[in-house]
Amino acid sequence: MKEMPVHLENLAVGNLKYKYIEDICKEFYDSFIKLNDYQKAAVTNEDKAFLLNASVGSGKTTVLVNKVLYLGMVKKVPLSKMFVLTFTNKAADEIKQRVLRFAIPSDKNPSDKNPSDKSEMAAFGTFHSVARYLLSNVLPVEDLGYTKDFSILDEDGAREISDYIIDKNGLNIKYRKKLEKRIYGLKHGRELYGNMKYSDDIDNFAYLLQVEKVKRNVMDFDDLIECCKILLRNNAVHPEWIIIDEFQDTDSLQLEMIDNLVGDNTHIFAVGDPNQIIYSWRGSREDIFEIFKERYDAKEATLPINYRSTATILGAARAFLSGQSHLVGIRGMGHAIVIKKHYNSFNEALYLAEKIKKLKKEGTPYNEIAILYRKQSHSSVFEDVFTREKIPYEVSVKKDLKDIPALYWFFRLIRASINNNDTSNILHVLSDDKYGPCLKYPVARQVAEGKARDGLADKIYGFRKWCECKKSADDFENEIYDYFDLDNYLLPTSISYSKDRDFILKYIKEISDYIKANKMDLFDGIKNAVDYTVLYGKQVINQMIYKDSDSVKLMTLHASKGLEFKYVFISGANMGIIPLSGRYDDEEEKRLFFVGITRAKDYLEISYHSNPDDGSALANPSPYLSMIPDDIIESEELKSRAMKLSDLKREIRDNMAKKGGKVQEKKKVIHPKYGEGYIVSEDKDTISAEFEGYGEKSFSKLFCPLKFIN
């Protein structure tokens, strides 16, 4: 396997070997034939357990899709007997979409020539969504005290339950702001404040929390996997094939769930890249590949050919690979890697704004441009400048349901209505101070306990009945707004009213579409659609907000994993940021940088700041920059200003003395972000001004944002 030739001329020989596939299924063969030898071997491999090391950009998803097609069309394994597990909904969706283009004979109807049925792919999805599917359709969740229509708890919900328990039981909990982290630590066997002098009620709290969740029939994300894992022990669910994507991100809990899914006749096929382990702080582990190989006695192979990046970019990437990793490119050298020194991130943002405008003019869509940085906080400068320069951008992560308060309120109203045990949502909907009846908290509490009444609460409690006599998704779509009398509750006089209303109607439409697409009963469908919103979180909202608009992508290095762009700009590669201070020997930081580099298809530019505005950054460049081979770097140092303010002032005074002129009156300027300031110095390229509260900033004259007042 490992000796498989890279040279393409050998493909013909390989194809002869696979000729039988054409006889069985021409349609699949046409897709299969386009793969390289490594990919073909992985697709047709039928070892009991197999580990595929897929290097960056090596066509991992294509292999996964073809694997599913091969099993379905050639080996006649029904889709319903396959589990395809991913870490993001996006990845799961892509695989499903691509599989759906083919006709795979179904379980129920083996000779079916129609396209594959989506419902056969219930176990294609994220670990969490597959766990949810099993818990509400296959496993006896009642054994754990739940009912099949449990709902999924989001962060806010979890926090509210915690507050409730602490309040009600008068518990003594320290470090409450870090409660979630502490519970997480407790679950994973390492307590955050293990050596507290005086312990608190954390153990008792953890127990009561679990009890309360069962009582309310809600599960958080971890509970989904945990419950599934427990129930699988005594209830055999053994697929014929388990296919796992991004295997390097698997945590212990998920590994246990997989263990319990594996039966005597189960095949496991895991695909991942050990060079892209960047989430170990979230539970994924560096030894996961070793564990897998040992536990299942797995065979192993590599996909070495990178189709994505130029030879130059791969040359830089290789410098960050550990051990004997192969990474073979097929593209030409392309543009050199550009390393730029900027005064600070503001200057860089101005520079990038111009650069991006130019690229756009030359025909590059904004979508092909990404700016990557280490911390979320680094995005704001780019946001400010791009807004002003009218460059459309999208910050990944930032937008979710909570950013549209009215929609979030409505979402909780629906959740309260489908699960009347869910008191935290009921309370919230009734006592919110903007939307709804805006009851005082104690009054809302009384209503929730049945000791008082309220019009909206009656609708919440009557919702199930209403659904049962209405029946159709169309009725829901047309009447739900009036059923809850939303015009009354959504502040019709507020400025945001029409937008709020719009979002809610859109969301109602989404729910209705979901129910129709999945051919579900109304009540069940709404419940499922709402859980889907929790599981899909941001994606649902993002779709509603930016329907495939062309925009520059701003994101952290972490968030960039799995994506690719023609132009990639990595910003702020300073000592203390990349890698973070105190983590100079941390391999994970190196892998993170590797992930960033390998997002670029054609052009990669890395910057650092001579006067960084992030407090933890030092003024010198990241040690990683010197790891990139010199001969592929084009370093263009922007003129840097004197580092110390005092030096700069002396310089100015000296200059003035030389000129022999009087000290001129300070020129007053206005800057859109820093406000009023005074010119301190000026030369042929740059201009420096001092702002109260911000200190001295210098700007390139080419795109100077300053307004001169006198």
Give min distance, CB of 553 to DNA, in A.
12
Name the packing angle between helices 522-536 and 455-470 (round to 10°): 120
Q: Is 11 in the site for DNA (CB under 7 A)?
A: no
Q: For residue 651, give both structure tokens.
A: 């310089």
Q: Is 197 in the site for DNA (CB under 7 A)?
A: yes
Q: Is 186 in the site for DNA (CB under 7 A)?
A: no
Coil, helix or strand for 619?
Answer: coil
Q: For residue 323, give both structure tokens.
A: 């051990």
Taking the least distance from each CB to DNA, the nearer of 213 and 374 is: 374
Q: Is 177 in the site for DNA (CB under 7 A)?
A: yes
Stretch that binds DNA, among 13-21, 374-382, 497-505, 678-686 (CB under 7 A): 374-382
Taking the least distance from each CB to DNA, the nearer of 90 and 318 is: 90
Give min distance, CB of 15 to DNA, in A.
37
**Secondary element (H or E) of residue 476:** helix 473-483
Q: CA 589, 591, 594, 599 torsion: positive or negative?
A: negative
Stretch that binds DNA, among 95-103, 127-135, 622-630, 647-655 (CB under 7 A): 127-135
Q: What is the DSSP secondary-structure string of 569-618?
A: EE---BTBBTTBTT-TT-HHHHHHHHHHHTTEEEEEEEEEESS--STT--
Q: Is 558 in the site for DNA (CB under 7 A)?
A: yes
* Cα gap 311→290, rounded to integer Å: 30
Stretch that binds DNA, among 503-511, 554-562, 598-606, 625-633 (CB under 7 A): 554-562
Site size with DNA, rule: CB under 7 A: 44
Q: CA 496, 502, 504, 506 torsion: positive or negative?
A: negative
Q: Is 375 in the site for DNA (CB under 7 A)?
A: yes
Stretch that binds DNA, among 169-177, 257-265, 266-274, 309-317 (CB under 7 A): 169-177
Q: For residue 220, give both structure tokens.
A: 């958080």
| Phi then psi dihedrals of residue 421, to 5 deg | -80, -15
Give min distance, CB of 558 to DNA, in A.
4
Q: Is 635 in the site for DNA (CB under 7 A)?
A: no
Alpha helices in 235-286 (DSSP H): 252-261
Taking the least distance from each CB to DNA, the nearer of 67 and 378 is: 378
Stretch that binds DNA, among 31-39, 126-134, 303-311, 336-344 (CB under 7 A): 126-134
Q: Is 174 in the site for DNA (CB under 7 A)?
A: yes
CA dihedral 213, 400, 91, 376 (to 10 degrees): -110
Q: For residue 196, give both structure tokens.
A: 């507290």
Give min distance, CB of 548 to DNA, in A.
18
User: What is the distance in angstroms between the CA of the first residue and the CA of the last residue of the chain?
Assistant: 75
Q: Is 574 in the site for DNA (CB under 7 A)?
A: no
Give min distance, CB of 148 to DNA, in A.
19
Taking the least distance from each CB to DNA, the nearer of 271 and 359 is: 271
Residue 484 near residue 459 (C-beta atoms within 8 A): yes
Contacts of 478 (CB under 8 A, 6+ apart): none
Give min distance, CB of 481 to DNA, in A.
28
Give min distance, CB of 309 to DNA, in A.
22
Taking the least distance from each CB to DNA, the nearer of 192 and 638 is: 192
Q: Is 559 in the site for DNA (CB under 7 A)?
A: yes
Q: Judged by CB under 7 A, which of 38, 50, 124, 221 binds DNA?
A: 221
* Cα gap 514→201, rounded to integer Å: 43
Give min distance, CB of 156 to DNA, in A.
11
Stretch that binds DNA, among 85-93, 443-451, 467-475, 693-701 (CB under 7 A): 85-93
Q: Is 599 in the site for DNA (CB under 7 A)?
A: no
Give min distance, CB of 160 to DNA, in A.
16
Q: Is 553 in the site for DNA (CB under 7 A)?
A: no
Taking the least distance from each CB to DNA, the nearer of 101 and 583 is: 583
* Cα gap 118→105, rounded to integer Å: 12
Taking the least distance from each CB to DNA, the nearer of 437 and 537 is: 537
Coil, helix or strand for 192?
Answer: coil
Q: Judged by CB under 7 A, which of 347, 528, 556, 698 binds DNA?
A: 556
* Cβ neighbourhood burial of 679 (10 Å; 0-12, 13-18, 19+): middle
Taking the least distance from each CB to DNA, the nearer of 75 and 178 is: 178
Q: Is 126 in the site for DNA (CB under 7 A)?
A: yes
Q: What is the DSSP secondary-structure string of 643-676?
A: SSHHHHHHHHHHHHHHHTPPPPPPPEEEETTTEE
Give min distance, CB of 199 to DNA, in A.
8
Taking the least distance from each CB to DNA, the nearer of 200 and 521 is: 200
Give min distance, CB of 251 to DNA, in A.
9
Q: Judged by CB under 7 A, which of 216, 267, 374, 641 binds DNA?
A: 374
The percent helix, strand, coil of the chain (3-state, each to 5) is 50, 15, 35
Q: CA 388, 390, 396, 400 torsion: positive or negative?
A: positive
Taking the least distance from each CB to DNA, the nearer of 94 and 502 is: 94
Give strand pairing partners of 424. Answer: none
Stretch that binds DNA, among 15-23, 60-68, 87-95, 601-609 (CB under 7 A): 87-95
Taking the least distance from each CB to DNA, the nearer of 612 and 677 is: 612
Taking the least distance from each CB to DNA, the nearer of 144 and 580 is: 580
Q: Judged by CB under 7 A, which of 53, 55, 58, 129 binds DNA?
A: 129
Q: Judged by CB under 7 A, which of 87, 289, 408, 435 binds DNA?
A: 87
Q: Is 543 in the site for DNA (CB under 7 A)?
A: no
Give min distance, CB of 278 to DNA, in A.
7
Q: Judged by CB under 7 A, which of 60, 67, 96, 128 binds DNA?
A: 128
Contacts of 362 (CB under 8 A, 6+ apart): none
Taking the least distance from each CB to DNA, the nearer of 175 and 441 is: 175
CB atoms within 10 A of CB 311: 14
Taking the least distance from each CB to DNA, the nearer of 172 and 472 is: 172
590-594: long-range contacts, CB 8 A cutoff, minimum separation 24: 590/320, 590/322, 590/624, 591/275, 591/276, 591/277, 591/278, 591/320, 592/278, 592/557, 592/558, 593/320, 593/557, 593/622, 593/624, 594/275, 594/276, 594/317, 594/320, 594/321
Q: Judged by CB under 7 A, which of 537, 545, 551, 635 binds DNA?
A: 537
CA dihedral 619, 634, 589, 220 (to 10 degrees): 100
Q: Judged by CB under 7 A, which of 535, 595, 617, 687 binds DNA?
A: 535
Stretch that binds DNA, among 308-316, 579-587, 632-640, 693-701 (CB under 7 A): 579-587
* Cα gap 293→313, rounded to integer Å: 31
* Cα gap 426→460, rounded to integer Å: 8
* Cα gap 514→534, rounded to integer Å: 14
Q: Which of these, 555, 580, 552, lies nearest to 566 by C-alpha position?
A: 552
Q: CA 547, 550, 551, 557 torsion: positive or negative?
A: positive
Q: What is the DSSP secondary-structure string of 92-161?
A: HHHHHHHHHTS----SS-TT--SPPPGGGGTTEEEHHHHHHHHHHHTS-GGGGT--TT-EE--HHHHHHH
Binding string, 392-421, against DNA, x = CB under 7 A?
A: ----xx------------------------
Give min distance, CB of 538 to DNA, in A.
6
- Residues forming contacts to DNA in the complex (CB under 7 A) are 87-90, 126-129, 155, 174-177, 181, 192-198, 200, 221, 278, 281-282, 374-377, 396-397, 535-539, 555-556, 558-559, 580, 582-583
